[in-house]
Every structure is written in C-alpha cells, then in structure tokens.
Structure 1
Amino acid sequence: HILGASLVLVEMEKARAGGDSIRFLFSGDLGHYDQPIVKDPTAPTFADYVMCESTYGNRLHDSGVSSEDQMADVLNDAAKRDAPVLIPAFAIGRTQEILYLIRELEEAGKIPVLPVRIDSPMAAQATQIYNRFTEEHDEEYASILMKKRHPLRTGSMLTTSSRDESIKLNDERGTRVIISASGMMTGGRVLHHAMRILPNENATLVFVGYQAAGTTGRRILDGEREVKIMKEWIPVRCRIERIAGFSAHADWKAVLRWLENLQNVPKMLFTTHGEPDAAEAMAGHIRDRFGWNVSVPQYGDTIELV
C-alpha cells in the first residue's frame, strides 16, 4: 500500500471453550501488485476470521491505457498550452509515486523537464523517510539508489516548507506542476492553489487517487461547476483529468490474488473499508471465487466469534 502499511493479526489465546485460540486477520489497506517503490503485499497467514478492505470492490484499475501514458499526455498537453497543472495528492505514498513517474518520463524523453513544486511539508518529510528505509524498497527502486541517483527527484524540482515559500508559488507563470495535499481536497495547501487553478480555463486539475463521497474532489469529478472552498464559491472552469491507475488500493482482482494465499478456509470473511456498493460487490467476488462465508457488516452489528 504505502511505506509502513501492515497486516494486523490478532490472536486471542484460549478464547474457545476448549482452550484454543482464535486468530483474526485485518488486511488494512492493501496495495496493488507491481506498483513502484514498495514491495508487493505480504501474503496472508492462517486465520479463523478475516476483515478485508473493499475500496475497489466494484472496479478495476486497468483502463486500457497505462498511467504512464496518461500522465505523459496530460503534461505534454499542458506544456504546449503553457498551462499550470495541479495534482492533489496524499502526502505519504501518492506524492512519492508521482515524483517517481515524472522522473522516469523525463529520463525517457517522453516529456520535457518541467518545474515541479511539492507544496506539502508532510510530503517533504515523508519523501526523506522513503529514502531511509531501504528494506521496504522494491528491487527497481533499490537499483536506482545503488547508482547514486535520487529516484524521487525530477530535473527541476522545488520543495516548499514555510508558508512564505508556498505563497511565492503564486507568482510563477507558465507550465509548472504543483503537487499538494490533501489528495481529496478536504484541507491543506492544495485548497489555496485550487482557488486559483479551478477558475482558469487554461489550467489542468489532475486526480490521481480515490475521491470519497462528499469530498471536494468527488464533487468536482462528479461535474459540479462550482464548489465551496474556505467559505468561498469557486467556479470550476479548468480542464479535469483522472488517472485511476495510481490508486494505492488493490482492485477486486488484486484482492482475490491476495486471498488466494490464505493458508486455510476462514470461518467468516468481512468486507469493510468500501462504499456500500463496493463492499457488496467485493463480497460477491469472494463468494464466487472461493465459496467462502462472507459478511458485509453494518454499523452497530455484533458478531460472536466461535
């Protein structure tokens, strides 16, 4: 998923009448396979019960066009129009993945070297942490570090830390890529940039992650032509792009791939961490594939573990 994400296995010793333990495995947020920077999800272990995420239980990431090609098209188009690009991105995980991709596209000559601005103190700190914990890196990332190159630094990159440095970005003109949190536009410095980008017909707003219902990002994606940001109604006139392949969450096929490694048939599996339709769809996929008992718990439900 992201650096530091973990499965959690809770073992309740002597929980059964006969003195046996009950093992409950929580998937947490599952990442998808073959994503850059971090290793693939760890295989699940033996568990009597499993709680499994279902964020993408009713969707697949594969749109027929790679995220690399989509990003290259968006940035090249912006460069031709001399237009700014705003990418709302989670500070941990998504920002680093975007930087990694832009660097690769630059080095491959697929896009020009563009000014990239990281306007998120947390993202700046998280990027440093990514470089320190080498045991979490996948082989490709580690090989780049071995060559004394920085996998998360583009050709013309600036990271802001102070409020004054962030404000100075407003004076820049021409094509530049601003990456700022939060990823769903619910808070953070991205809102200050959005107030200038959204009304600009020449600008581009790029979504690179899941937008939950009720968030500003979701409302923009759903086509609302005006959104409220910091008590002001801001018109949405800019170009809107969505690159779905960047989600750090596994889609339903990847969740099934992960569950295939479970060492036993669980007594019950619960699908959570998904909107109602997604959780129900994920439960259906699991039943169809494995024939397991699957429940979609509702708020306030009580389940007795036996």
Structure 2
Amino acid sequence: MLGMKLTFCGAAGTTTGSQHLLEVNGQRILLDCGLYQGRRKDAFEVNCCFPHFDPATIDSVVLSHAHIDHAGNLPNLCKKGFAGNIFATFATRDLCAIMLPDSARIQTSDTKWLNKHRKRQNQPLVEPLYNEIDAEKCLRQFVNLGYNRPMLIANGVKLTFIDAGHILGSAQVLLEVEDEADGQTKRFLFSGDVGRGDNDILRDPVPGTDIDFMLMESTYGGREHELGTGADDKVAEVLNRALKRGGKVIIPCFAVERTQQILYVLHQLFEEKKIPTVDVYVDSPLATNATEIFRLHPECFNDEVYEFLHERRDPFGFEGLTLIRSVEKSKALNEREDQCIIISASGMCEAGRILHHLKNGVGNPRNTIFFVGYCAEQTLGWKLREGWDKVKIFGDEYTVKAKIDIVDSFSGHADHSELLDYFQATSGPKKKVWLIHGEPSRSEALCDALREIHDGEVEVGVLGQTVEF
C-alpha cells in the first residue's frame, strides 16, 4: 500500500503560482503558496479560491523562498482559514516581511484603478485578494529554521532546509518521512528554484543526498544562458561605452537579489577603477528595504562577500551611492542633466518608478537603458530589448532613441546544463522524479534529457494531478 500522495496545485505547465500538496501520515503539508501571475481575470480566478484544497485543512506550509510566485498567496491562505505554521529560513521570513505587504499595496492600488472603470460600466466591484493587515497577520505564523537544522514538523516528518543558491534565504526542502502506511523510510526533495552557482553574492546550491523521490523545477529546460556567471568585464564594457555617450544609465532591476547583485558588481568595478566614478541611485523603496535585509544575513553569502565583511566593508554600499525612498527625491532624479546611474524597479518595466525614468529618458539618444535580467514576452522591458522603435508608457507613445544594452549573466535560475549538473550531483536512487515550474516545452525538454541519463521514472507534473508513492 502506497502511503504518500502529491498533488500539483500550481506551477505545473507554467512557471508561476508554485503550490504542491503533500499528504502523509494523516497530515497535509503545502510546499509553497505562490501567486499565479498572468492576465488579471485569469490570475484572480486562480488565486482567490484554492480549487485543489480547503485552506483550513492544511496542517503546515513549507516555503522554499520569498519570491511572490512562491510566497505571494500566503496571506490569502491564512485569511481563508489556514492556522498552522509556515516554515521558512530566517532570510526568507525577513524578505516576506517587506514583499508581502508590498504585494498587498500593489493589489489595493490595482483594484482601486479597476473599480473606477467597473463602476462607470455598472459592473460589480472587486476586492484585492488581501490587504496589508492580512499580510502582517500571516507573518505571525512563520517559524524560522536555519540551513541544515533538522526539525520535526509533523508526525513522522522531519524537515531540513538545504541552500538552493537562488536568492537570499532560498532553500531546497528535504523531508525525511517515516511512512506509517507502508513502514518505509523515504527521503523526499523539493528543489524550489535552483541557482546557477558562481553567484556574485550567494553560495552555490548544495546537493541533496540519498534522495528517493524528487520534485524538481524546470524553468530553463532546453535553454542555455547566453553568458556564464561572473561577467563583470562585460558590465564594465557596457558602462564605459554608456558613460562616454554623456547621458544617464537607467537599469531596470528586480528589487530583490538583482539590485543587490548589481550593487556588489558596481562596488568592485569602482574599487578596481574599471569604470569612471559616477553617482549611483537605487530608486525603489522595496529594493532599499531589501538591501538592508541582505546586510542582516551573512549566513547566505559566499566566501568572497565574507571577505568583504571581514575587512569591515559594506558589499552593498560605497561612496557615491544613494538609496531613495521618497517620491520627491525620485522625481528630482528626472530633472538632473548630469551623468548618473539609476537602478529602479520593476525589472520588466511594467510598474513602479522605472516607468517615470523611462518616460523621461527613453527619447534621449545620449542615455542608455541597460537590461540585466529576463523580461516576459509583451512587457515593456521585452519590447525595449527587442528593439521596438516606439513604445507606450502611461498610455502615451514615445520614440526610442536611447541606446539599449543587455547582459544576461545575472539570471538566478540554473539553465539546462546546470539543471542536469544539479540533478546528477543529487545522490540517491531518485526512484521517481516529477518536473514542475516550467512552460510545457521547457519541462518536456528537461524530461527527455533526464531520461537519457537516469534509470528511474521521470515525469512532467500535470496541474490537478495526484500521484502516489
């Protein structure tokens, strides 16, 4: 008799809305509780109701990391009746403390805008999934656990977090299970999102050992990153060329992880005099808060950043750097005519202060828009990366005259070859492997590659499917 059941409740056939329900020994453990991010109507219908389970029946949640597509629906889960513990690393909890309220504010703002239009059309008004109070209440249910510190979280279920090297505090989830149904001991590993290794800030992913069953991400299956990690010289080349043009350098950047990574690289380039001295501004309240949190968690840093700390230097701070929170100071940046580097969220240019900087800067041929991360198809960032001559910002059309530069070495996700290396480094029989968190073509490409090198069963998870083992 098989004793464990796994249901794919999200991030199956897509890369967003991570949720996986594990049932064992009469306990229901939810792995991640992310927001599905897509078209507004579809996203609301998926996120609001938890169609695959009743939140009140969940005993505990284990959270791999703080990204909104993995953690963003936690306040809604608690609001709808979940009363158990949310297990996470210390850094993940601290990041959630700023990211979940920020998500609530964005939802409240979007809902307010949407209701204006719905009211004019005599349509029923809508409410956000949760508000800032719901987010704060959810944080009270967090229980923090360090890497490699086993903890019993349910009857016969022991949890250990293993460093995933993806973002600050990110973890692989190892569950050691004494299965009462069949009397067997089973080691189950949920990969979370797997980092590339050789990260400028973080430690490399740590391979799991003696794994029997594996739930693995496949975001970049069948795809290789254009550049390897550690492409600091390429960044220096782009910045030197940009600064010679005489204008501003505008860097659209994700507030968490990517901004801090860029700051660390800039710090090194300035110290080594590989780029000229110029003022740098981080114009994002969320990024500013996240940078403060990074300083609190040296346990996540690699040896090189540790060396920075040992020498009493700030990896994310240097002379000429200004972190901006206020709207007034943000607006003042657009009035400056001298050279500077502006790092602002969001990385895909779909919301936030970056839109104001692009509105004011995209038409100036002396300026450079420097992309250092992925942009989903049809986003403003994607259009700029693809070389569109004209783009719309706040509903108005602008001609793109600024220089567009791209360095894609900063991805936090392992690519196809790196995922294969990660899988092979993970020891054990790996009797059954389920692939999730990938578009269908990506998951299938990785599945085919794994079947060529592995004798165990490898399948692609299907949304709503339940497997037993």
- Do the two structures share a fold, i.e. TM-score over 0.5? yes
Q: Which has the larger radius of gyration?
A: 2
Say whether the 8 Å CA contact 2:285–2:325 is kept in structure 1: yes
Please give the per-residue CA displacement for 1:138-164, whole angstroms capped at 9, x wherever unaligned.
111111111121111233111101111
* TM superposition shift of 1:132: 1.5
Shifted more, 122-131 versus 279-288: the winner is 279-288
1:273 corresponds to: 437
Say whether the 8 Å CA contact 2:228–2:409 is kept in structure 1: no
The gaps in structure 2 that reach 5 residues or longer are 1-165
1:305 corresponds to: 468
* TM superposition shift of 1:19: 3.4
1:7 to 159, 172, 188: 172
1:150 to 314, 330, 333: 314
The gaps in structure 1 that reach 5 residues or longer are none
Q: How does 1:39-78 map to 2 (within 5 A)?
A: 39-61=203-225, 63=227, 67-78=231-242
Distance 1:139 1:122 in 2: 27
Please give the per-residue CA displacement for 1:36-92, whole angstroms capped at 9, x wherever unaligned.
211111222444332222222223235379621221111111111112111111111
Say whether the 8 Å CA contact 1:86–1:206 is kept in structure 2: yes
Shifted more, 218-227 versus 146-155: the winner is 218-227
* TM superposition shift of 1:285: 2.5
SS in structure 1 of the partner of residue 242 of structure 2: helix
Q: Which amino acid in 2 is paired with 1:151?
A: P
Cα 1:154–1:62, aligned 2, differ >3 Å: closer, same or farther?
Answer: farther
Distance 1:283 1:103 in 2: 40
Cα 1:281–1:121, aligned 2, differ >3 Å: closer, same or farther?
Answer: same
Q: Which amino acid in 2 is paired with 1:282?
A: L
Q: Which amino acid in 2 is paired with 1:2?
A: I
SS in structure 2 of the partner of residue 244 of structure 1: coil
1:262 corresponds to: 426
* TM superposition shift of 1:188: 1.4
SS in structure 2 of the partner of residue 178 of structure 1: strand
SS in structure 2 of the partner of residue 56 of structure 1: coil
* TM superposition shift of 1:170: 0.8
Say whether the 8 Å CA contact 2:282–2:342 is kept in structure 1: yes
Relative contact order higher in (CA < 8 Å, ≥ 6 apart): 1
Q: Equivalent pairs: percent with the same residue?
A: 38
- Aligned-residue CA RMSD (Å): 2.2
Say whether the 8 Å CA contact 1:27–1:53 is kept in structure 2: yes
Say whether the 8 Å CA contact 1:43–1:261 is kept in structure 2: yes
Q: How many residues align?
A: 304
**1:122 is the counterpart of 2:286:** yes
Say whether the 8 Å CA contact 1:44–1:259 is kept in structure 2: no
1:199 corresponds to: 363
Q: Which amino acid in 1 is paired with 2:305?
A: Y
**1:180 is the counterpart of 2:335:** no
**1:32 is the counterpart of 2:174:** no
Cα 1:20–1:69, aligned 2, differ >3 Å: closer, same or farther?
Answer: same
Shifted more, 122-131 versus 40-49: the winner is 40-49
SS in structure 2 of the partner of residue 87 of structure 1: strand
Distance 1:143 1:297 in 2: 42
Q: How does 1:100-115 map to 2 (within 5 A)?
A: 100-115=264-279
Distance 2:449 2:306 in 1: 35
Q: Which amino acid in 1 is paired with 2:324?
A: T
Say whether the 8 Å CA contact 2:207–2:427 is kept in structure 1: no
* TM superposition shift of 1:23: 4.5
TM-score w.r.t. the length of structure 2 is 0.61
2:460 to 292, 296, 300: 296
TM-score w.r.t. the length of structure 1 is 0.91
Cα 1:154–1:61, aligned 2, differ >3 Å: closer, same or farther?
Answer: farther
Say whether the 8 Å CA contact 1:209–1:244 is kept in structure 2: yes
2:157 corresponds to: none
1:249 corresponds to: 413
Distance 1:62 1:299 in 2: 31
Distance 1:230 1:303 in 2: 44
Cα 1:87–1:297, aligned 2, differ >3 Å: closer, same or farther?
Answer: same
